[in-house]
Structure 1
Amino acid sequence: MPQASAVPVTILLASYRGAAFIGAQLQSIAGQTHRNWRLIVSDDGSDDGTRDIVAAFAAAHPAGQVRLIDGPGRGATQNFLHLLSAAPEEMIAFCDQDDIWFPDKLSRAVEALSAHDGPAHYAARTIITDADLRPVAESRHFPRPLGFRNALVQAIMAGNTSVFNARAAAILRRCIRPAQANDIPSHDWWAYQVTAGAGAALIHDPRPALFYRQHARSEMGRNDTVRAMSQRIGMLLAGNYGGWLATNHAALDAVRPELLAENRALLDRFGAALRQSAPAAALSMARIGLYRQTRAGTSAFYAAALMGRLRQCGPRRLIR
């Protein structure tokens, strides 16, 4: 096994109209203490100078270290899946265009992942800032265990901090096509579900790894305030959340050989529960042991099940 400092990492950055912030993010990548990195930027049709900024950054580095490719033009999640399909067979790191990485962001992830021979998925906390990088708060610490029973109903392994060792990245690549075809709602939620389902080691670093910039065009907002948590609980009670669960289930069911046998059984029970009416659905899900990271979130999840908000009428067509 190579020394952690020698492990190659491919950074996958999805861009779209990011000219205001992407230059600072690129410079934070250049300043990483882990030097063995390459970068692929998939741009979704920016018309604001983003591509020129990336091209200039590429020209300032050795040939081949930075690549700019065309995205699919279908939004951030599909752009990340596209990037994943273009990545070489090595450790990979997801990257957002408007954050600022701390200098040791990659080195800490590589060191943590290098301790595992099997598949492993690393994520970390962040420092939430305003648009001008003034710190506001640290992102939430998740007290409950990481695992498939949590991943089925909650996304907590933040994509902008996620790094996957080569074995975990290979599993994700084998699962891309159904995720693309089913139009999954979130690439980082999907990645957490796949790695957890496959039995990968799951590492959540309590130390922040980057500045998570919040601005008017942020793809996802912060989730640590009372207002934000209330909004997320409201989503649990809305119809869209049940649709997301069904979409994720379809994408996972299409790649079930990648999951541990015990998790395939959980997935089947979960799929059956999604088609049950209330309160049978809530009872079935409680027997599975599904949970979110807070009591309020878990209670809201089961309230949604009791109200029939998670039910999918009829079997969903699987796209394989």
Structure 2
Amino acid sequence: MLQFNLADQLNCDSNPSGEQPNSDLDSRTGARTALPTVAILLCTYQGQRYLAEQLASFETQSHSNWSVWASDDGSKDDTRGILAAYQQKWPEGSLHVFSGPAEGFAANFVSLTCNDTIQADFYAYSDQDDIWEADKLARSVQWLQTLPADVPGLYCSRTRLVDADNHEIGFSPLFSKPPSFANALMQNIGGGNTMVFNNCARQLLREAGEHRPVVTHDWWAYMLVTGCGGQVFYDPEPTLRYRQHGCNLVGTNSGWMSRFKRIRMLFQGRFKQWGDSNIVILSALEHRLTPENRKILHRFMAARKMSLIPRLICLKRTGIYRQTLLGNIGLITAAVFGKI
């Protein structure tokens, strides 16, 4: 994992000099330079309760050169009306609205990712019910700009958890092990609502294509970027307020209730089904995987078909891991019972 001290690099203070919002000053020459463009990929469905607060948080971004590309998956409430109101409020071209595929949130995000009418320097996934911190885009763009243009880059971060009324209730787990393909085969470390990626990463995602069995769009992105030799940065600084409420499609995975739920899904065979889906996607891009990661994938695929002892030995040789002790105990349990 690249080590990068964003706190030392960022300067997110308001601009007292009156410069244009979509420009910045080159620290070496003093000349005005255009800020990189960020396409915010926003998926909505029945989002009227919280959507306006999320859109308002885009307005506070210290990195101001963004546009929103919203895909609504058939809302029957006032979601479309709120989007239309912001289209009128914001400058022309700031907000574009599409109709989603109506196949669930993952397919909706994949459809936006693969939409070739959307062009920018960087791309940021957004849920409809969070609240972004003012430096969210600035932090991600600052790190992504350190990468060569031909290296797939994916930024993600920790989140601040809030309840339905935006009262703080804690933080998402703080992961300390490095991002890698061996980890990505077993879990996703970054919520999609925190993810920002560059054009090289987007090219990989588009090559993987639509109409494949994507479990979640964020796990999809983490696997493909790490598998194909890209760089992933997990920022320990929370960059958004992640709202926890009764209508969450995907909530935080911390807490004992979540752990019991994962154990139940394990024995129901859900993890094994997810593994099947991920293998289909990775196999389609096998030619883009690094030699080392191709070997990890092949060992993983072979181990799943073995009897108990050979399966455990082969899985250990793959080097796969989860981020926490309890997670790795769960991984061993899944391997023993053939549920991986």
Q: Same fold (TM over 0.5)?
A: yes
CA deviation after TM superposition for structure 1 residue 93, in Å: 0.4
Whether the aligned pair in 2 keeps the contact of 1:120 and 1:168 (CA below 8 Å) is: yes
Report the TM-score, using the length of structure 1 for normalisation: 0.92
Does residue 124 of structure 2 align to residue 93 of structure 1?
A: yes
For 2:180, give the aligned amino acid: G
Distance (Å, rounded) in 2 between the aligned partners of 1:277 and 1:188: 32
Bigger mean CA deviation after superposition, 69-78 or 286-295 = 286-295
Aligned ranges for residues 77-226 of structure 1 at < 5 Å?
77-86=106-115, 87-88=118-119, 90-117=121-148, 118-177=151-210, 180-181=211-212, 183-226=213-256
For 1:300, give the aligned amino acid: G
Distance (Å, rounded) in 2 between the aligned partners of 1:90 and 1:261: 29
Partner of 2:68: 39
Whether the aligned pair in 2 keeps the contact of 1:18 and 1:97 (CA below 8 Å) is: yes
Report the TM-score, using the length of structure 2 for normalisation: 0.86
Whether the aligned pair in 1 keeps the contact of 2:72 and 2:97 (CA below 8 Å) is: yes
Summarize deviations over 1:282-317 as a string: whole Å, max 9, x none. Answer: 22111111100011111211211111223xxxxxxx
CA deviation after TM superposition for structure 1 residue 145, in Å: 1.4
Distance (Å, rounded) in 2 between the aligned partners of 1:230 and 1:143: 23
Distance (Å, rounded) in 1 between the aligned partners of 2:34 and 2:52: 25
CA deviation after TM superposition for structure 1 residue 233, in Å: 4.0
Partner of 2:46: 17
Does residue 316 of structure 2 align to residue 286 of structure 1?
A: yes
Does residue 258 of structure 2 align to residue 228 of structure 1?
A: yes
Q: Match of 1:204, SS?
A: strand
CA deviation after TM superposition for structure 1 residue 35, in Å: 0.7
Q: Match of 1:97, SS?
A: coil
Q: Match of 1:133, SS?
A: coil
Partner of 2:87: 58
The root-mean-square deviation of aligned C-alpha atoms, in Å, is: 1.6
Q: Match of 2:218, SS?
A: helix
For 2:324, give the aligned amino acid: T
Bigger mean CA deviation after superposition, 262-271 or 90-99 = 262-271
Q: How many residues align?
A: 306
Whether the aligned pair in 2 keeps the contact of 1:89 and 1:170 (CA below 8 Å) is: no
Whether the aligned pair in 1 keeps the contact of 2:53 and 2:131 (CA below 8 Å) is: yes
Whether the aligned pair in 1 keeps the contact of 2:158 and 2:190 (CA below 8 Å) is: no
Bigger mean CA deviation after superposition, 2-11 or 34-43 = 2-11
Whether the aligned pair in 1 keeps the contact of 2:154 and 2:232 (CA below 8 Å) is: yes
Bigger mean CA deviation after superposition, 71-80 or 28-37 = 28-37
Distance (Å, rounded) in 1 between the aligned partners of 2:260 and 2:309: 23
For 2:77, give the aligned amino acid: D
Summarize deviations over 1:3-28 as a string: whole Å, max 9, x none. Answer: 79711110101100000011100110
For 1:170, give the aligned amino acid: Q
Bigger mean CA deviation after superposition, 276-285 or 112-121 = 276-285
Distance (Å, rounded) in 1 between the aligned partners of 2:133 and 2:319: 37
CA deviation after TM superposition for structure 1 residue 184, in Å: 1.7
Distance (Å, rounded) in 1 between the aligned partners of 2:79 and 2:157: 27
Bigger mean CA deviation after superposition, 230-239 or 272-281 = 230-239
CA deviation after TM superposition for structure 1 residue 237, in Å: 3.7
4+ residue segments displaced more than 4 Å? 2-5
Bigger mean CA deviation after superposition, 85-94 or 28-37 = 85-94
Distance (Å, rounded) in 1 between the aligned partners of 2:156 and 2:190: 6
Aligned ranges for residues 255-266 of structure 1 at < 5 Å?
255-266=285-296
Bigger mean CA deviation after superposition, 126-135 or 219-228 = 219-228
Whether the aligned pair in 2 keeps the contact of 1:279 and 1:307 (CA below 8 Å) is: no
Report the identity percentage.
38
CA deviation after TM superposition for structure 1 residue 196, in Å: 0.5
Give the gaps of 5 or more residues in structure 1: 311-320
For 1:293, give the aligned amino acid: Q
Distance (Å, rounded) in 2 between the aligned partners of 1:64 and 1:275: 52
For 1:148, give the aligned amino acid: F
Structure of higher CA gyration radius: 2
Bigger mean CA deviation after superposition, 243-252 or 82-91 = 82-91
Distance (Å, rounded) in 2 between the aligned partners of 1:229 and 1:130: 20
CA deviation after TM superposition for structure 1 residue 279, in Å: 3.4
Q: Match of 1:157, SS?
A: coil
CA deviation after TM superposition for structure 1 residue 158, in Å: 1.1
The partner residue of 2:272 within 239, 242, 251 is: 242
The alpha-carbon distance between structure 1 residues 298 and 236, as it changes in their structure 2 partners (threshold 3 A), is farther
CA deviation after TM superposition for structure 1 residue 89, in Å: 5.0
